[in-house]
Amino acid sequence: MKKLFTIVIIIGIIGAALVIIKPGKKDILPSLDGGGKCGDGICGPAEKANPNLCPKDCQIQKDGTIPPSTTSSTPKDTTSVSADSPFAIQAPFMSRTEDKGYISDQEAKDLLLDAGAKEVRLVLPELEKYDINNLLTKNNISISSDIAFPVYPKDMEKHKSEVKASAKKYKNNVKAWLVINEAETGWKDTPEKYAEYFIATSKAIKSEAPDALVVMNLAGVSPAGESSSSAGLKFLDTALKNGVGPYFDVLDIHIQGDAANYINMGKIVSDYNNIFKQNGIEKKSVWSTEFGTYDGDPDENSRLPGMKLLYQSEKTQAGGLIKKYIYGLSVGIKKMFWTTMVEWSHYDKNSSGNCYFCSTGLVNNSRNDDGKSHKKLAYYTYKKMVEVLDGSDWNNIQTIQEKDGIYIYKFTKNNKSIWVAWNDNDGSKQVTISGITSSQVKVTEAIPKYESGKEVTDYSAAFNTETKTVSGGKVTITLKDAPVFVEEK
């Protein structure tokens, strides 16, 4: 799981050829009447009027690539490709040998529906194994799936045929294909071979499922979630220099660690956006398909360097969940897949039943060392978050305050405003929210009023809620240790 020299690239992919122009050198591409240059990879007005003028430039639009703008040398902006719900779950089915039989497929589906998850991340074999039509698609749960392998194929034509077959078969089920998990550590060949492989895979997908999204999948972040990884940044930079830029829609980076590290996500996203900018590529949508924090006191793991696994209560995990999602949305992460619905047990052969990835799930797994099986507080927080915020205008999230330990964000849903606020100070703090158009607001704590999810017997009564009167478009609330939703009534 946890796994340079500056060159401006004008990408015109003809098979595997690239046209590269170094800074400071005169552009030697022949100019065309009406603008543009022959060989710039752009099918401009003159080339469209006379297809024989620069046939290779226009061919790029016919062979499965994500077409660049006809007025710019950079690909079109894809930042709005996932403006749908950000609330997703990684690996909801218990597919691992260690978890086999713990819950049924139907129970997994019921948990997804009850919690309100809108998308899941699966792997290709699971598309065959499970009845995804009845379990997911018919219940309006979207699918993102891994595809391809981290080695260059001996038979590229066979690989492309297999990818086309999968894309065609699951065209109505899978909305996004993730190419090679955590590629900066997973890829087993040269960067040039990766680019060739990625482009071929992307073209194969788009030829059969042109509306599907192609995702570049990186670990991208340090195991503790405190910073972008130098390996991830270098890998993306090299891939873009090798011409991969026009061939994917989404960049996936994986963010784990403790409940308080959410504050690092803005810098992480900015680091990756800067790599796109340095390469003349408009920034892509950013997802995190492996996203979480833990509860309990997991054993230290040398395979997760820098991750200090101090004790976190169920309340701390639940608070981390809401803060990570809201802050992630505010800095431009379009979709986050929580790891996972039900805890994995004994995550790998080298782990105990008390490991980090045995502790991030929203529901306990009694096969782990603590023997617990109840839904955690984080489960109910996830459900309440989706209930309150899903359907918001994800392109209109306003940051109201991020200082003095107070964080306030404004969402708009059905023409009404919703604020999410929290207090990272040790004591309570009063804050005033303004710009309210209703006469009253409903204030709901985002974490149930218990120490453990085991105590929740009635979801409808599990959260502290109050109605406050608005005066002059303002209301003052007291922020304690739990984030709150403030909804116009």
* CA separation for the pair 61, 395 (Å, rounded): 29
The distance in angstroms from the start CA to the end CA of the chain is: 43
* CA separation for the pair 354, 465 (Å, rounded): 35
**What is the DSSP pairing of strand 416-423 with strand 406-413?**
antiparallel
Q: Give CATH superfamily name and number for 87-389.
A: Glycosidases (3.20.20.80)
Burial (CB count within 10 angstroms: exposed 0-12, middle 13-18, buried 19+), residue 96: middle
Distances (CA, A) of 349 to 68, 175, 282, 358: 45, 32, 42, 12
* pTM for the full predicted model: 0.83
User: Hey, which residues does 121 pair with through a beta bridge?
Assistant: 90, 144
User: Residue 7 has what pLDDT?
Assistant: 34
* CA separation for the pair 421, 388 (Å, rounded): 14
Asked if 150 contacts 185 with a C-beta cutoff of 8 angstroms, the reply is: no
CA dihedral (44, 50, 54, 60) positive or negative: positive
Task: Give alpha helix (H) positions in 345-448.
Answer: 377-389
Task: Give alpha helix (H) positions in 209-300.
Answer: 230-241, 265-278
In the numeric block, the tokens 């170094």 are attached to 22
* CA separation for the pair 384, 1 (Å, rounded): 28
Domain with CATH 3.20.20.80 in the chain: 87-389
Could you give the maximum distance between any two Cα atoms of the chain, in Å? Answer: 73
Q: Could you tell me which of 373, 387, 381, 339 has the C-alpha nearest to residue 113?
A: 387
* CA separation for the pair 208, 165 (Å, rounded): 8
Domain with CATH 2.60.40.1180 in the chain: 398-488
In order, the DSSP letters of 68-91 are: BPSS-SSBPP-TTTT-S--EEEE-
- Count CB neighbours of 74 within 10 A: 17
Q: Could you tell me which of 224, 292, 219 has the C-alpha nearest to residue 264?
A: 224
- CATH numeric code, 398-488: 2.60.40.1180
Asked if 412 contacts 400 with a C-beta cutoff of 8 angstroms, the reply is: no
pLDDT (tens digit, 0 to 9) for every residue of the chain, 489 residues total? 444 333 333 333 333 333 333 333 333 344 444 444 565 444 444 444 444 455 544 443 333 434 433 333 333 333 333 348 999 999 999 888 889 899 999 999 999 999 999 999 999 999 999 999 999 999 999 999 999 889 999 999 999 999 999 999 999 999 999 999 999 999 999 999 999 999 999 999 999 999 999 999 999 999 999 999 999 999 999 999 999 999 999 999 999 999 999 999 999 999 999 999 999 999 999 999 999 999 999 998 878 888 889 999 999 999 999 999 999 999 999 999 999 999 999 887 667 789 999 999 999 999 999 999 999 999 999 999 999 999 999 999 999 999 999 999 999 999 999 999 999 999 999 999 999 999 999 999 999 999 999 999 999 999 999 999 999 999 999 999 999 999 999
User: Residue 44 has what pLDDT?
Assistant: 45
